Amino acid sequence: MTGASIVRWQAGDAVVLAVHGAFDGASAWSLRLAMEESEATRFVVDLTHAEEAFEFAASILATFMRRCWRTKRVSFLPGRPEHVRLLSGFGLDVLEDEVAAGLPLAQPSWSPEEDLEPGATA
């Protein structure tokens, strides 16, 4: 089980997938499945709320990108300088900021509890 929640919203022609918590193998696999199952062709993975990021997560998405580069375009919005180094090291497209990503500056309000089933805790 992942230590992250993935929040999804549409921003122009891109689907934004924001990672809240750990960008780890489980969250990367969840991102991969969400992108694979989506009809959308452009995605922005927002790591500005990621508390930690792991090489294994970046390697999962780098492998996915090499496999589907003709049909899906994925960019990453890093939250910290170490995210830039990690993502760039795997050849992933890193955006400078929300404006470069074409995202609205105000993100939708959300809390992890909104995605939980009744009676569950975060």
Q: Interhelix angle for 55-68 vs 25-37, to 10°? A: 20
- As a whole number of angstroms, the distance between CA 100 and CA 54 comes to 24
- The domain tally of the chain equals 1
CATH number at residue 69: 3.30.750.24
Q: Is residue 4 part of a domain?
A: no
Domain, as residue range, for 71: 10-103
**Is residue 111 pLDDT above 60, yes or no?**
no
Q: pTM for the complete prediction?
A: 0.80
Please check whether residue 4 is in contact with residue 31, taking contact to mean a CB–CB distance below 8 angstroms.
no
Mean pLDDT across 78-92:
95
Owner of token pair 């050849």: 91
Structural domain includes residue 59: yes
2 has a pLDDT exceeding 60: no
Tell me the per-residue pLDDT of 12-57, one tens digit each, with 9 for 90 and over: 899 999 999 999 999 999 999 999 999 999 999 999 999 999 999 9
- 122 has pLDDT over 90: no
- Residues 47, 82: Cα–Cα separation, whole Å: 11
Mean pLDDT is lowest, of 2-11, 22-31, 75-84, for 2-11
pLDDT at 120: 47
Coil, helix or strand for 77?
Answer: strand
* Pairwise CA distance, residues 77 & 95, whole Å: 5
Of the two residues 51 and 108, the one the predictor is more confident about is 51
